[in-house]
Amino acid sequence: MALDYVSTSKKIVDAVGGAGNIVSATNCMTRLRLVLSDEAKADDDAVKKIKGVKSVIKQGGQYQVVIGNEVSNLMKEFNKLGNFSEDAAPAAGKKPEGNPVQRLFGFVAGCLTPLLPAMLGTGMVKVLLTLLTTTKVMSSTSPTYTFLFSMADAFFYFLPIMLGWSIAKKTNHSVPMYMVIGALLVYPDLVTILGGAVEGVTYGTFLGQNCAYMFGFLPVVCASYSSSVLPMLLMTPVMGWAEDFADRVSPNVLKAFLKPMIFFLICTPVVLVVLGPLGTILGQVLAAITTFLYGNFPWLTVGLLSAAMPFIVMTGMHYALMPLFYSNLATFGYDVVILVTMFCSNIAQGGAAFGVAAKTKDEETRSEGIACGISATVAGVTEPAMYGINLRFMKPMIAAVCGAGISGLLAGLTSVKGFTMGGSPCFTSIITFIGVDPASTITNPYHGVIWGTICGILSLAISFVLTFILFNDKDAGLAGEVNTDAIDAAHAALAGQEHEKKAIAAPVEIDSPMTGKLVPMKDVPDEVFASGALGEGIAILPTDGKVVAPCDGAVAQTMDTRHAIGIVADNGVEILIHVGLDTVELHGTPFKYHVKADQEVKKGDLLLTADLDAVKQAGKQLYTPVIVTNSDDYTEITPVDGAEITAGQKLMTVK
C-alpha cells in the first residue's frame, strides 16, 4: 500500500515536538534530516512506530528519520507543515552532539549530500558516453560528444564552486561570497599560472614543490584544484570567521561593498598559500594510503570494507567518505573504496531480504522482504532492507555481511573498479565499471562489468542462501499468516480516535507581543499559518519592531535567523512568535535577539527587535502570527476582537 505522505508527515511533526521544534528540514536519498531546537521533545519510540518510518538516527546534530525511496515525495508534504529552513545548522545555543570526529563527519556529509543529484546525473551521462564510444556508436572527437561531455564534466571540474554553495547554505553564511572562493580555485588564468609554465612569471620552490609568489614573497604552490573538495572544506572555519569579522568592522553605510572586500582579501591568500596546498597534500596522502592498501592487499581491502559498509551506512557516514572518492577519481581515474564496496554490500542487503521473503510464512513480512530486496538490488537504496528486515531480525544481517565480504574479496582479487558515479551502486549501475585503468595490464573495458556481475550474483546468492538457512519465523517472533482483516479493523478504530483535549483549571490570558493591526489567522497569506497546521492563534501587522514577552515563562526556542522566538509560559502554554512571512530567507539581518535560549522572562520583557523597513525593502510581508503551538492540549483558544492592539494588551484567552 502506498504511503500516505500527508498523514505520515503530520505524525512525524507531532512526534518530534511539533513544527516549532524543527529548526530546519532537508532530505537526502532515503532520510528526512531534521535539526531540532530541543531533541528531548522528540519521542523516538513514537517516531519509529509511524508507518513508513524505518528507523531514527541521531548524527552530527541532525535528527534523521529513515524513510527509504519515498522520502522525496514525503518531503513535499512535510514542507507544507511549517516554515522550515533548508539550512541544517544547529539551533542557536544548542550544544553539538557526538564526539568531534562524529561532528566532523556529520558536517562533511551534510555539505556533500545536497550535491548528490547533480553528481549522479552527470556521472550517468559520462557512463552513457563511455558506452557509446566503446561500442563505436559515437566518436570521441565529434561535436556532440564534446557538448555532452562538457556538460557532464562541468560538475566535477567546478566542484569547488558547488561546494562553496553547499557550505554556505549549511553554515548560514553568504552563498555568493563562498562561491567566489570556490571559483577562484578553478579560474582559468590561475590554473595556467599554477601549471608552472607561464612566460614572465617568476617561479621558485617551496617544501620541494614548484611555486609562484603572491605579493612577491608568499609562496603559492603549483597545484590543480579542479574536482577537489578538501581545500574548500578546510576553508570553512576561515570563511566563517572572515565573514563575521568583516561584518563587525564594516560601518553600516559602507558594509555593502566593504564587508565582501575584506572577506575576499582575507580568504584569497589563506586558500592559495596555506589551506589549498594543505588540502592537496591531504588528498595525496589519502591517495597514497589507498594505493598502498589496494596495491598490496586488494582482496582484503575491498572484502573488509564491503563487509563493514552496512554499519557505515547506518551511521550516515558513507557520505563523509566522498572526499576520498573524489580524490581517487581525480588521482587514479577510478575508485574501489566507495563504488565497489557499496556495490557488493547493497546487493547483499537485497539478497538477505529476498531470503527472508522466501523463508517466512508471514504474509506482510514476505511482501516487505520482496519490496526491500528490489529496492536494494535494483535501485541501490538499502535502508528499507537494513532497518525494515535485516537488522530487525539480525540473522539476515549476519548473512548480508558474509555475502558482502566474500564477494568483496573476489572483486578485489579480480581488480573490479568503478570509473564514475552513476547512481547508488547496484545491478543497474554495473555499467559504471566500464573503463580501463592506464596503469593496469587489463585492456578489456568490459572486464569490470563481467567480474562485477559475477561478484554481484555471488553476493546475492550467499546472502540469500545463508538467510534461508539461519532465519525462521519462530525466532523472529512471527506467528505465521497475518489476519489482515483484524489489522484493518484496528487501523480504522485508531483512525477514528480523536485527540483528547483537556480543559485547564483557569483561563490563561496571553498578551500581545507587538503593537499593530490584528488579522485573523485565516486571512494570513501563507497556507501553513492560515490552515492552523501549526496551531491556533492570531496575527499582527506590526507598526513597531519591538517584540515583548506575552507572558511569564522561559525562552524555549531561538533560531540562527532570529526571525522567530518560542516561549513556554509558566502554566505550560507554548507560544510561537513569527515575525513576517518567509523572513527565514533574510538570514537574520533585520533582527536582533535580546534574550537567549532557556532564559527566564517576565511579561513585557524585550525579546527581539526587528527593522520593519528593512523587512519590507527585502520584499517580505510583515504579518506576524502569534500561535499556541500545543493547541491540541486545550479545549478553546479565543483571540480578542478588535482592529488594533498595543503591546501588553490582552491578545487571546486559552481554556
pLDDT, tens only, 510-551: 999 999 999 998 888 877 778 777 788 999 999 999 999 999
4 three-state secondary structure? coil
User: Residues 212-228: pLDDT tens digits?
Assistant: 999 989 999 988 888 78
C-alpha cell at 618: 527585502
Portions of the chain given CATH number 3.30.1360.60:
5-98
Q: Is 563 a catalytic residue?
A: no
Could you tell me which residues come within 8 angstroms of residue 629 by beta carbon, excluding any fewer than 6 positions away? Answer: 18, 19, 20, 534, 535, 566, 574, 575, 576
Residues pairing with 218 in the sheet: 214
Could you tell me which residues come within 8 angstroms of residue 552 by beta carbon, excluding any fewer than 6 positions away? Answer: 569, 570, 601, 602, 603
Out of 28, 344, 426, 455, which one is annotated catalytic? Answer: 28
Q: Report the candidate in 109, 143, 151, 105 with the shortest Cα–Cα distance to residue 126.
A: 151
Q: Report the candidate in 123, 121, 122, 119 with the shortest Cα–Cα distance to residue 111.
A: 119
How does residue 91 score in pLDDT terms, banded at 50, 70 and 90?
Answer: very low
**Mean of the pLDDT values across residues 130-149?**
87
294 against 636, higher pLDDT: 636
How does residue 33 score in pLDDT terms, banded at 50, 70 and 90?
Answer: confident
What is the rounded distance in angstroms from the CA atom of residue 38 to the CA atom of residue 58?
13
How does residue 499 score in pLDDT terms, banded at 50, 70 and 90?
Answer: very low
Predicted local confidence at residue 86, as pLDDT: 66
**Mean of the pLDDT values across residues 343-370?**
90
DSSP H or E run through 127: helix 116-134
What is the rounded distance in angstroms from the CA atom of residue 156 to the CA atom of residue 152?
8
CATH code: domain 508-654 is 2.70.70.10
Q: Is 267 a catalytic residue?
A: no
What is the rounded distance in angstroms from the CA atom of residue 135 to the CA atom of residue 446?
11
What is the rounded distance in angstroms from the CA atom of residue 325 to the CA atom of residue 593?
42
What is the rounded distance in angstroms from the CA atom of residue 286 to the CA atom of residue 581?
47
Predicted local confidence at residue 483, as pLDDT: 41
What is the rounded distance in angstroms from the CA atom of residue 384 to the CA atom of residue 376?
8
**Other Cβ atoms closer than 10 A to 646:** 12
Portions of the chain given CATH number 2.70.70.10:
508-654
Predicted local confidence at residue 502, as pLDDT: 47
How does residue 289 score in pLDDT terms, banded at 50, 70 and 90?
Answer: confident
Predicted local confidence at residue 183, as pLDDT: 95
What is the rounded distance in angstroms from the CA atom of residue 203 to the CA atom of residue 412?
43
- Give phi and psi for 583, each to the nearest 5: -75, -5
- Yes or no: say if 553 and 567 are a contact pair by the CB < 8 Å rule: yes
Percentage of the chain beyond pLDDT 70 is: 88
354 against 423, higher pLDDT: 354
Protein fold of 5-98: Gyrase A; domain 2 (3.30.1360)
Out of 173, 447, 578, 587, which one is annotated catalytic? Answer: 578
What is the rounded distance in angstroms from the CA atom of residue 397 to the CA atom of residue 379?
19
User: Residues 181-199: pLDDT tens digits?
Assistant: 999 999 999 989 988 778 8
